[in-house]
Structure 1
């Protein structure tokens, strides 16, 4: 729901007469002067002396915050266990009453409660530096008033809502302002780049965040559709075993869930979005975050957290091609003290394939999460995710000549009952202990397992590019992949003179095991197929056990990473980020005999690398950040040469300069970046030895990206991005030097904008409109064929009232035929895009 705790609308109504503006300014100045020294229920003592005495005593811990309604307003109760709180010093700023309590600390997370009673918009309790706690009570129309009473076990603020004063005049200009606290489309902080909760404006690298509100407004159900909201990210594949993405010209080698790696095999999979709070994309090398990874960037999926207040959301989606998808999102406290909280997300989805298969897309997903506040300074969160997914065994279309075959987008190059199945399980925990306000220890662990299988009729070769005659053969694939990730780090803050430091020191242990990666391919029983005149069901599928082995491998990767990072505040407007990571990787590949290679082999390689990163941020004014950075990457290869030896790891480096602006009081952000990435020692197929690989040499990607997100005017939100990417092979032994990288468009433009009517009889009605443009791409490193450019139009309409919302979204409004992903070869991964798609939903929150 849009009117959730993170996106509550605040309504302010001001009445101004033309003759009163000057007088109002004078009165306002006088009120602000008086508010600066205002105190409630405190004697006329020497404030400075009293304040110093309070600061010298030991700080009192606030262990609980309660908000209780009364006949005249509400009570805000701050509870303690071992001391009496000092009387606060209070001020008024706009519609907010601010009470600052000296000599106190907050022994719990920041407290927020929206609209506890009519006339009060927000109650917020936060801890400040130097043993101070701040209570901010924001009125809906005017600043509230308060009376203070103290006791041995706490302090009570008795709040009375304020009443806005409006003068009458013959000619009145009535100005109605409807806005939001921040913007639903802007996330100001992230932990993706630094593993610390740092404002984006202080990070010298491009990071884009897709908030939950955007996912809901667009009703996207795949990660690829969600990532269209980020510049420089395109889908490179969408086949039976998952989605793959290109970031800044290079494949994203893995996806992260809450900073933990999900796999190490270069496959993102079909990840579920229903339990995500945000999707974060870090552009460029992300070694500090993820260790060994491709230099294009990293995708981090941030999970929804348990809430301190009861929350229940039920949703039902339906659409064309038989889509049905009920889901639930439940959360709240399990104990009266709120220390034990839960969240449960669950979903079922079924939809006919738009590709003409008889097999449906069907999945079941459940994700319970528990959070336990063990003590005042210790927290533990435990996660579990289970996904059962079944979908068509789709390898896409094929290329004929210098283009993708001119066939309908729903053509199945195979059999209609081709199928792929996958079950995944993730169990994880995150533990945090705060030694003090400045130092904390964090420890986390993640276990991920994937059991996948497929039965597919695969294109073997092209017989005649003119007639469209090809050869098909039976193929089978079974694999079990497990990933274990253990992370421990210490975060601390200290000063050296006037220079502030936030230091991060940590260690990661990672193991990825691919067991019995069994690939079978029946080269000896091929059968003909014509893509222009397809006939199905006439050729028998081979038996799995009788089909020759093409590949049977066990692959184990063990990694150890140690990293150190320092975020240095040299001046208020000058910040330095410096870090280095050391990785040592051991890879072991055991290959069993196959019909191509009758002997078994075993190969082990040990590699280590230092990957430094350094960047600087300069803020000439508070709203603008200028930055420059240098970062590196390191990624082991799993490919082997014809001799059976593993190829040496890939190494990458990036130079980036950019600017970030936060406009309209932070409601609108813009990020402009220029980058230059070089990757060396890239593995590709050996043209002379089938099934083996060689290193092509060097690849380079240069470009410019622009991202804009936020609220332009009250109710009018926008996401717009553009990327120009010049990605090419700069050194190659196979004659591909100078060719463009596979699947990378030179130009990519995305726009999404919504407007919600703010008042009147149509209040709650919203509209959305967007476009997606991707330019021409090459489908292989030889640049032998292209996928044409395309332009999509998307639209939406929604209506929200009280605690329910109804929405209708249309993707590909004009039913354009297009190729979304250029694939990896002429017969694998060429993916047609979805045709006209309509999704309706109804959700209720209580």
Structure 2
């Protein structure tokens, strides 16, 4: 809230070991790199939500949770670095109204509202409504986008022990979107405002709709059952040209595409939570089952005879080019999982967490032009987790854990060899502490994650279609996070991460190559001070420092992304439901690369100096 973040990626910049994994076309659809490994999309209220193409607006978010390390024991197929979980705003039992307006440079404007309260006298039926509209120009030439969000939620208390929540969320992102930027052979970046495609007819229209329900029932003080069902529909239509290579440092080779696709994601879950004792030992148990159905339809046409774009003297006024035949396909997957977890308290200061999950996944692909369907081999996997916490005092916790994750593999050799899922295995130790009478918390962790069963070429077969599962990548790191109130009115969030993420086995890439866009060193500090007394009560100031070290620009490690230090600042005033603020991002206009999509022409540029003023009323 103090930083006035405009995306989930901005929100998690204060968390150690989490860096930008690239957004999709400048929209609020985001990948994250956590502990060296990329995770596409995020989770919502603890269940599977959007992938790399699904939109997530910040107006509906109450808080963001980062779960580090392999999380398959609860969430199924996920990459081993961790997950981002979005916890949404819920209806309130007392009337609440908030109106806000924001404006900034590059023609940024955003009105928004947040209303909540009871719909009946006994307050068993509650609602919440979030809505906003955003328009802005980009820092690149020709870029202009609009973002619309509309999200109603209803909570219904069906009885003393049963609650039902229904929700719907609509997010639309459209306009001429931000392009990648490129680096030429002497590692010089193209100008920040340079649009490295042809803007004529370039557009994106991406809509994500989410709806579903959550119901919970308490059998007693110790036992409850929960059930949720969600549907996420994402439809995207876009046309663009894209730079796919630098020619003699003089021009950019272009790729043109007109495509549209839909993604339907259905997720259902039921679980039982209970507490009981066996003698002097207490248990908190979780038993559950979930299913996930994922359907993607994809159609596209490829442009031909697209001229290269001159770097020094770009001519964007070109004749229309032709598109080839349209291809179309449908991918489907179904996943089922059962899981069991028990948190065992042997003593008040000694706890053991043990759990496991088993998944079955089937998938197929249909060529919609020929009607031919290919059935992929069935994947199954068991994912264990075990952790131990010892508290030598009320303010100190020592812990250690072991966990695994998996991601199914759909590829198979021409000879029909069935591939195992890729595996993630993590060992972690750490210490957590509370200081200053609980006002300040700190966590120090050390970990090693190994991702195995990665596909790579078979060196004993000249056919490039033959693959073997001998690839391996490893990430080792140390992370420190400190957050809390140092003195009355003075708050801070500080983090540091050392991450060594590298290739350890591969037939294509040299052993020792660093993983793309993973900095060895990353640090952040966000601190605010707000006057607590006198006539200045409610006046606050904020300062942020965000450092990201050098990173590999591509898998071959042929170039590096330079390190950068970005400075943010804020000033705000809060009093009796009124708030006004000014937030500055990139105060000193640092030119930097946020992340790479694995190539010299696929770099995401950081935005220049950005200032946004906001004013709101809560009543």
TM-score range for the pair, normalised by the shorter chain length: over 0.9
CA distance in 2, matches of 1:753, 1:445: 39
* Aligned-residue offset at 1:538: 2.0
Matched, 1:745 2:519: yes
1:184-227: CA deviation from partner (whole Å, max 9, x where unpaired) = xxxxxxxxxxxxxxxxxxxxxxxxxxxxxxxx210111111111
Is 1:408 matched with 2:191? Answer: yes
Aligned counterparts of 1:768 and 1:642: Cα–Cα separation in 2? 59
Q: Which residue does the alignment assign to 2:486? A: 712
Give the direction of change, closer, same or farther, for the CA distance of 1:766–1:271 in structure 2 (3 Å limit). Answer: same
Contact 2:43 2:83 in 1 (8 A): yes
Is 1:529 aligned to 2:309, yes or no?
yes
TM-score, normalization by structure 1? 0.70
Paired position in structure 2 for 1:764: 538
SS in 2 for 1:628: strand
CA contact (8 A) 1:244 1:268 kept: no
Does the CA contact (< 8 Å) of 1:356 and 1:416 recur in 2? no
1:400 alignment partner, SS class: coil
The within-5 A match list for 1:64-103 is none
1:617 is the counterpart of 2:386 = no
- 121, 135, 142: which one aligns with 1:357: 142
Distance 1:638 1:389 in 2: 31
4+ runs of 1 displaced by more than 4 Å? 598-601, 638-647, 683-696
Is 1:494 aligned to 2:276, yes or no?
Answer: yes
2:508 to 720, 734, 737: 734
Q: Any conservation in 2 of the 1:222–1:270 contact (CA below 8 Å)? A: no
Residue in structure 2 matched with residue 569 of structure 1 by the alignment: 345
Kindly tell me: are residues 255 and 396 of structure 1, through their superposed partners in 2, closer, same or farther at Cα, counting changes over 3 Å? same
**Partner of residue 253, structure 1:** 40
2:324 equivalent in structure 1 = 547
Structure 1 residue 835 and structure 2 residue 616: aligned? no
State the alpha-carbon separation in 2 of the partners of residues 314 and 668 from structure 1: 32
Distance 1:643 1:761, change over 3 A: farther
In 1, distance between residues paired with 2:344 and 2:516?
Answer: 40
TM-score normalised by length of structure 2: 0.95
CA contact (8 A) 2:453 2:469 kept: yes
Q: Which residue of 2 aligns with 1:287?
A: 72
Residues 1:430 and 2:206 aligned together: no
Change (3 A) 1:815 1:474: same
Secondary structure of the structure 2 residue equivalent to 1:227: helix
| 1:66 corresponding residue in structure 2 | none
1:592–1:684 Cα change, 3 Å: farther
Counterpart secondary structure, 2:9 = helix
SS in 1 for 2:376: strand
Asked if the contact 2:92–2:126 (Cα under 8 Å) also holds between the matched residues in 1, the reply is: yes
- Counterpart among 440, 445, 451 of residue 224 in structure 2: 440
Matched, 1:796 2:583: no
Partner SS state of residue 346, structure 1: strand
Secondary structure of 1:226's match? helix
Measure how far apart 1:637 and its partner are: 2.8
Shift in CA distance, 252/693, structure 1 to aligned 2, threshold 3 Å = farther
Distance 1:685 1:304 in 2: 47
Asked if residue 520 in structure 1 is aligned to residue 301 in structure 2, the reply is yes
Please name the residue that 1:91 is paired with: none
Q: Per the alignment, do residues 795 and 316 of structure 1 end up closer, same or farther by CA in structure 2, a change over 3 Å counting?
A: same
Question: Are positions 1:335 and 2:96 aligned together?
Answer: no
Counterpart CA distance in 2 for 1:743 and 1:689 is 31
Residue 582 of structure 2 is aligned to residue 808 of structure 1 = yes
CA distance in 1: counterparts of 2:491 and 2:515, whole angstroms: 35
Give the CA deviation at 1:571: 0.3
1:213-362, aligned counterparts within 5 Å? 216-240=1-25, 242-263=29-50, 267=52, 269-358=54-143, 360-362=144-146
Tell me how far apart the structure 1 counterparts of residues 597 and 607 of structure 2 sit (CA, whole Å): 16
Shift of 1:686: 10
Shift of the 330–480 alpha-carbon distance from structure 1 to 2, 3 Å rule, reads same
Partner in structure 2 of residue 560 of structure 1: 336
Shift of 1:506: 0.4
Decide which structure has greater strand share: 2
- Equivalent in 468, 471, 478 of residue 697 of structure 1: 471
Structure 1 residue 643, shift from structure 2 partner: 7.6
1:244 Cα deviation from its structure 2 partner: 1.4
- In the alignment, the residues of structure 1 paired with residue 463 and residue 237 of structure 2 have an alpha-carbon distance, to the nearest angstrom, of 27
| Structure-2 residue corresponding to 1:115 | none
Per-residue Cα deviation, 1:500-559 (whole angstroms, up to 9, x for no partner): 1010000001111112x123322x4131212233221224243xxx4345x633111101
Give the Å deviation of 1:685.
9.5
Larger radius of gyration: 1
Q: Secondary structure of the residue that 1:343 maps to in structure 2?
A: strand
- Is the 1:653–1:679 Cα contact (8 Å) retained in structure 2? yes
1:218 aligned counterpart, secondary structure: coil
Q: Using a 3 Å threshold, how does the CA distance of structure 1 residues 711 and 675 change in structure 2: closer, same or farther? A: same
Deviation (angstroms), 1:478: 1.0
- CA distance in 2 between counterparts of 1:507 and 1:473 reads 44
Q: Deviations 1:462-501 (Å, cap 9, x if unpaired)?
A: 321xx33232132122110011110000001000111110
Inter-CA distance 784–291: structure 2 relative to 1 (3 Å threshold): same
Contact 2:377 2:410 (8 Å CA) reproduced: no
Higher relative contact order (CA 8 A, sep 6+): 2
Question: Are the aligned partners of 1:794 and 1:813 in contact in 2 as well (CA < 8 Å)?
Answer: yes
Structure 2 Cα separation of the partners of residues 477 and 648 of structure 1: 32
